[in-house]
Amino acid sequence: MKPYIKLPKIESLPDSSILKRKLNSEIWKNYIFSVLLEYYKFVDNKEIISIIENESQKQRSEIEKIIKEHISKWLKYRCRKFDNAGLIINLEPSTECKVSGFYDLKFEHSDWRNQYFSFEVKNLGKAKSITLSKSINEYVYVKEKDREDGGMYRYLNGKYACNMNFGGMIGFVIGRTENSIIEKLINKIYTVYDNNTIGMLTNDKIIKNSIYRNPNTFDSIHIRQNNKTKENEEFRLHHIIMDFVNSEN
């Protein structure tokens, strides 16, 4: 257990569908934050490290996929708060947007109508042929000869959550790092998005410790063009960094 992770006192969702449909998105988001932080707080580091090491030995390892599945199964079968709420996690195409793609984790509820909370899961840290800097690029933004991509970029170019004004990133640290990986991420985000036509940071820019004052969380606030109206709108990305390698259990 990680005692330094703060979990909020979240009230149970109403039993009545009529009442649940009246809840605003902030209440739903806070509930989802609480179950994700509960996962990070209580999952044993050794269990995750073992999963990473076993997967890394395969010729074609898929660490992101294995981690995503572990989060999903843990919430479904070991998190009473998640089960009692009637939330579901889906992995399905983002067909509502002009460019098709797949969310890593998509939280939905039948009473949270036409709304959802999607998360992109990215590995962070050195692993096999992947360097720390490359993993940060994949999280924030990467531009190569025949590829322009990145976890955050998929939100900011309208590929993901095009009808929402928020989305989520989960950074899963799989390799040892000497300095704060959050500071490295934030520096990269400033470099890429502080004055970019796609996903430009707003005046508020980045808010550290944004989720219940937990130091492994921050928000980045951007300007994104609405796919339908073509108007610029504020879009907020919530970042949760889960470090099972460098942190205490």
The CA distance from 42 to 33, in Å, is 14
Question: Which amino acid, residue 27?
Answer: I
Average pLDDT, the chain: 90
Do the domain assignments include residue 139?
yes
Residues above pLDDT 70, as percent of the chain: 94
Domain presence at residue 2: no
Say what the pLDDT of residue 127 is. 75
Does some domain include residue 150? yes
Domain count for the chain, please give it: 1
In a domain, 233, yes or no: yes
pLDDT mean over 14-33? 95
Q: For residues 151 and 140, is the Cβ–Cβ distance under 8 A?
A: yes
187: part of which helix (H) or strand (E)? helix 181-193
Do the domain assignments include residue 202?
yes
With respect to residue 5, please indicate whether it lies within any of the assigned structural domains: no
In a domain? residue 10: no
Res 46: pLDDT: 92
Render the burial of 122-131: b for 16+ CB within 10 Å, e for the rest: bbbbbbeebe
What residues contact 165, with CB distance under 8 A and at least 6 apart?
A: 233, 234, 235, 236
Q: What is the mean pLDDT of residues 235-248?
A: 91
Tokens of 112: 């949270």
Q: Report residue 64's pLDDT band, with 50, 70 and 90 as the boundaries.
A: confident
Does pLDDT of 100 surpass 50? Answer: no
Confidence of residue 102 (pLDDT cuts 50, 70, 90): low
Question: Over 80: is that where the pLDDT of 19 sits?
Answer: yes
**pLDDT-based confidence at residue 23 (cuts at 50, 70, 90):** very high
- In this predicted structure, what is the pLDDT of residue 103? 58
CA angle 16, 73, 168 (to 5 degrees): 75
Greater confidence (234 vs 99) lies with 234
Q: What pLDDT does residue 235 have? A: 97
Q: Supply the range of the domain harboring residue 85.
A: 17-243
Q: Is 74 helix (H, G, I), strand (E, B) or coil?
A: helix
The answer to the question of residue 3 being in a domain is no
